[in-house]
Structures are given as C-alpha cells and as structure tokens.
Structure 1
Amino acid sequence: MKMPELQLPEGVKVHSAQSPEAIAQMLAERVAECLRRRLAEGPTATLVVSGGSTPLPFFRVLRDKPLEWERVKVALADERWVPESEPASNTALVKNELLQGAAAKARYVLFNVSNKDAVDAVSELEADAAELTLPVDVLVLGMGSDGHTASLFPDAPELARAMKPSEGQRVMVMTPPSQVHQRVTLTLPVLVQARFKALHLKGQDKITTLARAVEAPDDWSAMPIRAFLQAGLHVYWSP
C-alpha cells in the first residue's frame, strides 16, 4: 500500500515526497508560512514539535527560515523525564538541531526536566505550560508503530485522563510499562485544538500503522493517534 492509496477520513490532507529531505522542505515551508501569518496578527506565535529522528531534516530546514524568531515560543509535545545530558532527551535534540542560528532567539518553553520526580514537578510544568497561548499555532506530531503520538501511549494507565483531563490541565505524567522512562506530555485538548496540525511520518511501516488506525477511528484507547485523524490534519510522509 502507498500513502495515496490509504483511505483517510475526509478532510485529512496527505503530502508525500520521494525523500525525507524533500518532505522536510515541504513541511518547513508550510510551518514557516503559518508562523509568519500568526506573527502578523499578534505579538507571538507558538510552535509545538516532537522528538525522535524523523523530524531532524525538518528542524535543519526550518531553523534557517527568515522569521522573527525572538517572537516564537517553542515547546515539545512530550518529553522523557531524563536530564538533558542523556541521549534520550528530546529537549537536547530540539536545542541542538532546531534552536540554532537565527532560531536560537526563540524562547524554549517546554519541557524543562528538573531533579524532582515528574509527578512532583507537575505544578511547575503547568506553570510553564501556561505560557502557551491557546490554541497552539503550529503542532508537528510523530507516531509510533503502536499508534501512540506525543506520549499518549495505549498502555499508559493515565491515558484516559490525558485524553479527557480535568478542566484546564495542560500537562500529564505518563508511565506506560512499554517505556523505560517516565514521560510528560501535553494533554489531548491542548494538542488537538492547534490551528495547524501536521503528522510527520517516514517509512512504509507508518502507512501500515495508519491503515490499522482508520479501521476503527473511534477506538482511541487502542491507538491514540485516532483522536487526531480528523478534518484539518495534514500528513507529511516520505519513504
């Protein structure tokens, strides 16, 4: 199955290219356009990104885009609760790969990992997340082969609360047994209400995962990505 053959819900737009570098260019152009438009309308713009290896080419293109970066707030959709010195740190990844050159002027908001246990740091993380003007302007997500996105894992005991949190709750600690580290994530309402939502994918296996997801679009407990497969989502894919 190829991405154009996948029957996604109405209103989900697919963008594909022949290489990760080409799709990174397409995505970076659109994200920069969205941020410029928002900066023309207000004092700041918010960009929420994901970690991992897939977004690296995108980060390297986006950081060179001419933007008023000092007016951009950058946050992670989720993070492993590890120090920046650890290879698993998405914060370190974003700082090293995106917040370079002109983009170094952007303000990094989330997630700053402390020495506390993640549960004990929630109030501090919520205070940081309060700096995110909602709705978020641009959101770029990834997806795992189990159908998770951000740190909304199907095996996390906190999943139901992260998908339908208490009023105003923006951050949730997640402890999925499948993962080595504690996780912190933005909750579903913060993520799904973003003005521009992109799902950035690479590889044939991700098409297979999406095909499984569309078979039962309402069962988000089994595959949380299903909560995002709705009109307005842009899927950017390359082999």
Structure 2
Amino acid sequence: MPDIKLPEGVQSCFDETPDQVARALADSVSRFLEQRLAEAPRASLVVSGGSTPLPFFRALSEKPLDWSRVDVLLADERWVPEGDPASNTSLVKAHLLQNHAAGSRFLSLKQPGETPEEGLEAVKRELRDLALPIDVLILGMGNDGHTASLFPDAPELSRAMDTSNPEIVAAMTPPSQSRSRITLTYPVLAEARFTALHLKGEDKLETLKKAVSNPDEVMAMPIRGFLKPGLQIFWSP
C-alpha cells in the first residue's frame, strides 16, 4: 500500500486494481444513497468525467436503488455539444445511466449558448430544483491539482473558490485547456454530505502527496480545499 500521510479525518481505500476500487466505491455510494432515500424525497449524485470513473459508473448502475428519486449531474463539463468526443455528458449517459440507473433524472450542465457565459442562466434554471447540500460527490484530480473545473490558472478561480459566493455554477476559461468549461462552485461542492476522491495511477499519487504536503496553498492546487475530515480517497495503481 502507498506510503502517504493523509490529513486527520481523511479516510483511504487503496486496492490493487481499478475494478476492485470501483466496486468498493460503488458499494459505499449505493449504501449512502439508500440511506438518504430513506430520509428524504430525493437524493443527489454528482460525478466527474474522464476514464477513471468508468468501472465505477458501470458497477453503480447495477445497484437496485430507487433511481427514479436520484438526481445525477456532473461536477463540471466542457462547453461542447453532447456527442462530441470531449463531452462528459455523453460519457455519463453511456456508462452510468444504464441498467437500474437508467431511471434517474439527469441534470445537464451543458445548455444552449455559444459560450458557458451565454449559457449560465439556462444552467441555473436546469439546477433550480436541485436540493442542497449535495448528497454524494465524486471528484477526480488532475496532475496540476485541479478538481472539477477549478483550475489553478483559471482567471475565474478566486470567485469560484470564494466561500461567500452565492452562485451554484461558474464559467471557467483556464488558458491551459483547449475548451471553456462550466463547473459547480467550491461552496456547493465543499458542502456535500459524502465526498470521495477517485484516483488511478502513480502520477495521481505523487500529485496527492504534493497536495497534502502544503495544504494551505489552496489556490495553487484547488484539490487542497477538499482534503478535510470526511473525505474518502479511493486509489488504485
């Protein structure tokens, strides 16, 4: 198992294969969603895109929850049309909203508009019935320490990270990225009832070590804003 000292209150589930970690994460998430559905009319599940969560998506889709009462959305999205190879919306629909999970309600961060700024009000309308705080949040992490679309080089980062920001979403235009993006803001993400960080690969482990070694420099590595008690980290080589 990796030699890394995590902040107090941060839990880890490190295993040998991506499939083992994906199943463990799906088990944890389904248990939590089941608990929330016993307590509330609806539950929310916020996921991240990319290739790492695909085995998790498939495992979770087979859980026999009352998916008709689950709202599913992305933590962030590239501002590209659905069907574009860069669309995480397409990814979620193809891999998560299948099997039992096909009955869930999907809330799309990609709305009409040439830019995320143009589509911002439509996104807010799409999310107007989303109950806060979020119930389950699954984050990823880039090697620059970004999570969701909270990129260190984004000119909008300070506003998106501001804990007093009342907005649920923000348009992001990081110069390091070829596509403009939209993201849930840090105050919304940080208040989730259950938060997991899902990682794969030695490079992500090295990035995590860097993040935990200097936790106060949040703007340099926004993932540091989530390294707090209650976080669960799921990692495989």
Give your verdict on TM over 0.5: yes
Matched, 1:233 2:231: yes
How many residue pairs get aligned? The number is: 237
Structure-2 separation of matches of 1:80 and 1:14 = 29
Paired residue secondary structure (2:57) = helix
Alignment map for 1:11-26 (pairs within 5 Å): 11-26=9-24
Question: What is the one-letter code of the residue matched to 1:173?
Answer: A
Offset, 1:168: 2.3
Q: Given the alignment of the two structures, is residue 185 of structure 1 paired with residue 168 of structure 2, yes or no?
A: no
Given the alignment, which residue of 109, 112, 126 partners 1:111?
109
1:149 aligned partner: 147
**In 1, are the aligned partners of 2:159 and 2:165 still within 8 Å (CA)?**
no
> Root-mean-square deviation (CA), in Å?
1.1
> Given the superposition, is the C-alpha separation of residues 139 and 15 from structure 1 closer, same or farther in structure 2, using an over 3 Å criterion?
same
Report whether the alignment pairs 1:54 with 2:57: no
Q: Structure 2 residue aligned with 1:169, among 167, 170, 173?
A: 167
For residues 60 and 114 of structure 1, the distance between their equivalents in structure 2, rounded to whole angstroms, comes to 29
Is residue 97–residue 103 contact of structure 2 (8 Å, CA) maintained in 1?
A: yes
Measure the CA separation in 1 of the matches of 2:164 and 2:172.
Answer: 15
Deviations for 1:155-209, whole angstroms, at most 9, x for unmatched residues? 0000000001664200000000000000000000110100000000001111100
In the alignment, structure 1 segments of 5+ residues that lack a partner are: none
- After TM superposition, where is structure 1 displaced by more than 4 Å over at least 4 residues in a row? none
Q: What is the CA–CA distance in structure 2 between the aligned matches of 1:53 and 1:204, rounded to whole Å?
A: 15
Instruction: Output aligned runs, 1:92-131, within 5 Å.
Output: 92-131=90-129
Amino acid at match of 1:30: S
Report the CA distance between 1:127 and its aligned residue: 1.8
1:32 is paired with a residue of what secondary structure?
helix
Alpha-carbon distance in structure 2 between the residues aligned to 1:100 and 1:112: 20
Amino-acid identity (%): 56
Partner of 1:219: 217
5+ residue gaps, structure 2, are none
- 1:81 matched to 2:83: no
SS of the residue corresponding to residue 62 of structure 1 reads helix
Equivalent residues of 1:74, 1:109 under 8 A apart: yes
Paired residue type of 1:227? G
Contact 2:21 2:234 in 1 (8 A): yes
Calculate the TM-score normalised by the size of structure 1: 0.97
2:150–2:160 Cα contact (<8 Å) kept: yes
What's the secondary structure of 1:198's corresponding residue? strand
Counterpart of 1:118, as a letter, is P
The CA deviation at 1:113 is: 3.2
Please say which of residues 166-175 and 149-158 is displaced more in the overlay.
166-175
Output one character per residue of 1:5-64: Cα deviation in whole Å (capped at 9) or x when no partner. 211110000101110000000000000000000000011000000000000000000000
SS of 1:212's equivalent? helix
